[in-house]
């Protein structure tokens, strides 16, 4: 009881020193609460966002590793790429059977010309009028739809075939929208399509009209498509400001149809194609319509992506291919400011605790030195040294607890906006 009374008496007697100690502890408590709240909110936001992220992944030829392998073995990199095979649809579907894939869709893209003088592509000033033939010795760069030998002539239109409505991401995001008519039957190969409103206005076309497209490598090979709908593309309005190498690069010149329609056209073109082998290079060229196949795998989270990246090789994927996702790269880049904030909060907390602790130790050292006489009197009247130490500790503990309770309450109030912002985001 004596120790308690003496503690209270000393606290009231040394008001200035105890107020200073209280202020220091108060600042430490408030700063610690704010820093811990920010750090916890940043980590929680990162984990929650990552768990809600749907990842789009694709399988492509691993040019980087193959280039390193070619440099190490002395093999010609272009020959190595030309010897590689593109993935077929049945192979892509095999990997889609992985337990980690929640959805799979694909697109088939082809470049075509107009098969009728009444149907023309929209030209822009940035398009070069020079020959659009791709050099014969240009290697395939592993984006799918590899072509053997001559790459053929670049057409004025880009024809895109979608395997499902899920694959039509531009329409889902709102970049494109139907303004007249309706979307074709995505599951059928009925030679129907939709075109942009600019292209329809440029050629005076309406829903129900037909357009004729031609194989750029064989102009007498034509196909007729029926327009079931007209759509607007918000990107086409600004397309002319960018550099384009052909009219097909303009979003206004896109013809959208089903994957079945593009496949049917490509198969028909292959059946009537003429082939020729270059005696000097040994490369084979064909007049068949060129098409590029691109498959997209939907994965639930990063854990599924990592597991899928390993599972595809057990399903038979060659090690010259790799699984990649631009979603993860862009998401990780977006998390950099949040991670930096979390690190800053942690460093700030350590600095506050370190400096505050040093100041408190120094103050208590001076406090004890100033009270040597009191310590001597207490020991002289028979109080043992451990009890004297307990008394000093109780004084510091009482001041510390009082200021911590007040500081924590204020710190929690200050930290509420940070939590609200995190939840709202």
User: In terms of domains, do 200 and 127 share one?
Assistant: yes
Q: Would you place residue 94 in the very low, low, confident or very high pLDDT band (cuts 50, 70, 90)?
A: very high
Confidence of residue 39 (pLDDT cuts 50, 70, 90): confident
Chain mean pLDDT for the chain: 76
Domain of 365, in residue numbers: 2-49+334-424
Residue 203 DSSP code: H
Whether the CA torsion 260, 263, 268, 269 is positive or negative: it is positive
pLDDT grade, residue 242 (50/70/90)?
A: very low
- Listing DSSP states for 246-294 in one string gives SGGGSGGGEEEEEHHHHHHHHHHHHHT--EEE-TTT--EEE-SPPEEEE
**Same domain? 371 vs 420:** yes
β pairing state of 157-162 and 254-258? parallel
Separation CA 286–CA 288 (nearest Å):
5
Say if residue 382 is exposed, middle or buried (CB neighbours under 10 Å; 0-12, 13-18, 19+). Answer: exposed
Domain count, the chain: 2
pLDDT at position 60 is 84
Among 284, 300, 316, which residue terminates a domain? 300
| This prediction's pTM | 0.64
Helix (H) or strand (E) holding 418: helix 385-424
Beta carbons of 335 and 44 less than 8 angstroms apart: no
Give a yes or no: residue 214 inside a domain: yes
Residue 138: its pLDDT value, please? Answer: 39
Rounded Cα distance between 154 and 217, Å, is 9
Instruction: Please check whether residue 312 lies inside any domain of the structure.
Output: no
| Cβ pair 105, 164 in contact under 8 A | yes
Q: Which residues pair with 160 in a beta bridge?
A: 109, 256
Q: Are residues 265 and 291 in the same domain?
A: yes
Cβ-contact 10, 395 below 8 angstroms? yes
314 part of a folded domain: no
From the number of C-beta atoms within 10 Å of its C-beta (0-12, 13-18, 19+), residue 181 rates as middle
Tokens for 142?
Answer: 């592993």
Residue 193 pLDDT: 96
Q: Please state the rounded mean pLDDT for residues 114-129.
A: 73
pLDDT on residue 126:
47
Domain for residue 141, yes or no?
yes
CA-CA distance, 161 to 172, in Å (whole number)?
16
Residue 161 confidence (pLDDT) above 50: yes
Structure tokens at 355: 């400096």
- Residue 60, helix vs strand vs coil: strand
Domain boundary (300, 325, 348) is at: 300
- The reply to whether 310 falls in a domain is no
Q: 342: closest CA among 29, 3, 36, 1?
A: 36
103 and 31 in a single domain? The answer is no
Percent of the chain with pLDDT over 90: 30
Note the pLDDT of residue 259: 94
Residue 210 lies in a domain: yes
For residue 209, is pLDDT > 90? yes
Is 267 in the same domain as 160? yes
Give a yes or no: residue 320 inside a domain: no
Confidence category of residue 212, pLDDT binned at 50, 70, 90: very high
Residues 193 and 44 in one domain: no
With contact defined as beta carbons under 8 Å apart, do 349 and 32 qualify?
yes
pLDDT over threshold 90, residue 184 = yes
The token pair at 90 is: 């049945």
- Categorize the per-residue pLDDT at 359 as very low, low, confident or very high, splitting at 50, 70 and 90: confident
How far CA 140 is from CA of 68, 155, 410, in Å, comes to: 17, 18, 64
Report the phi/psi class of residue 17: left, alpha or beta, with left for phi > 0 and alpha for psi in -120 to 50.
alpha
**Pair 202, 246 in one domain:** yes
- Do residues 165 and 271 both lie within one domain? yes
Strands 192-196 and 218-233 come out as: parallel
Of 144, 245, 253, 260, residue with least CA distance to 200: 253
Q: Label residue 159 by pLDDT band (50, 70, 90).
A: very high
Q: What is the pLDDT of residue 332?
A: 73
Residue 372, pLDDT score:
67
Distance CA 150, CA 134 (A): 8
pLDDT score at 140: 40
DSSP strand pairing (192-196 vs 55-61)? unpaired
159 torsion bin: left (phi>0), alpha (psi -120 to 50), beta (else):
beta
Residues 84/61, Cβ–Cβ less than 8 Å: yes
Residue 307, domain member (yes or no): no
Domain shared by 167 and 148, yes or no: yes
pLDDT value of residue 110: 93
271 shares a domain with 395 = no
Helix axes 15-51, 2-13, angle to 10 degrees: 90
Note the pLDDT of residue 38: 79
Q: Is the pLDDT of residue 30 over 80?
A: no
Last residue of a domain, one of 251, 280, 300: 300
Please tell me whether residues 41 and 64 are part of one structural domain. Answer: no
pLDDT of residue 278: 74
- Residue 19 predicted with pLDDT over 70: yes
Q: Is the Cβ–Cβ distance between 3 and 387 less than 8 Å? A: yes
Q: Cα(409)–Cα(222) distance, rounded to whole angstroms? A: 78
pLDDT at 339: 77
Name the DSSP class of 133: B
Question: What is the pLDDT, as a whole number, of residue 326?
Answer: 81
Residues 26, 123: one domain? no
Answer yes or no: is pLDDT of 76 > 90. no
């Amino acid at each position: 009881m004596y120790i308690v009374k003496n503690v209270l008496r000393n606290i009231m007697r040394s008001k200035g020193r105890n107020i200073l100690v209280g202020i220091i502890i108060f600042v430490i408590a408030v700063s610690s609460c704010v820093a811990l709240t920010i750090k916890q909110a940043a980590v929680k936001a990162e984990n929650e966002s990552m768990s809600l992220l749907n990842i789009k992944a694709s399988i492509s030829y691993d040019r980087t590793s193959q280039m390193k392998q070619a440099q190490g073995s002395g093999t010609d990199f272009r020959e190595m790429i030309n010897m590689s095979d593109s993935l077929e649809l049945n192979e892509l579907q095999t990997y889609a059977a992985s337990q980690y894939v929640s959805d799979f869709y694909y697109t088939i893209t082809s470049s075509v010309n107009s098969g009728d003088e009444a149907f023309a592509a929209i030209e822009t000033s940035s398009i070069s009028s020079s020959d659009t033939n791709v050099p014969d010795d240009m290697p395939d760069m592993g984006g799918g739809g590899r072509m053997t030998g001559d790459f053929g002539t670049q057409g004025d239109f880009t024809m895109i075939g979608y395997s499902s409505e899920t694959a039509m991401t531009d329409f889902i995001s709102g970049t494109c929208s139907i303004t007249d008519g309706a979307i074709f039957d995505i599951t059928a190969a009925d030679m129907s399509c939709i075109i942009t409103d600019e292209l329809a206005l440029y050629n005076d076309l309406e829903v129900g009209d037909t357009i004729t497209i031609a194989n750029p490598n064989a102009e007498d090979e034509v196909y007729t498509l029926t327009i079931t709908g007209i759509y607007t593309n918000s990107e086409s309005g600004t397309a002319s400001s960018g550099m384009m190498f052909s009219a097909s690069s303009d979003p206004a010149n896109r013809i959208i149809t089903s994957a079945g329609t593009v496949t049917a056209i490509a198969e028909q073109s292959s059946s009537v194609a003429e082939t020729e082998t270059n005696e000097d290079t040994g490369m084979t060229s064909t007049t068949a319509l060129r098409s590029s196949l691109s498959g997209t795998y939907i994965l639930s989270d990063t854990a599924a992506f990592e597991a899928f990246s390993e599972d595809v090789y057990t399903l038979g994927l060659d090690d010259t291919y790799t699984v990649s996702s631009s979603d993860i790269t862009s998401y990780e880049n977006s998390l950099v400011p949040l991670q930096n904030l979390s690190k800053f909060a942690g460093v700030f907390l350590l600095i506050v605790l370190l400096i505050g602790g040093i100041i408190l130790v120094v103050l208590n050292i001076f406090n004890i030195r100033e009270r040597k006489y009191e310590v001597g009197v207490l020991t002289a009247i028979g109080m043992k040294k451990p009890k004297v130490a307990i008394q000093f500790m109780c004084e510091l503990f009482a001041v510390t607890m009082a200021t911590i309770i007040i500081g924590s309450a204020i710190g929690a109030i200050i930290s509420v906006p940070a939590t609200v912002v995190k939840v709202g985001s």
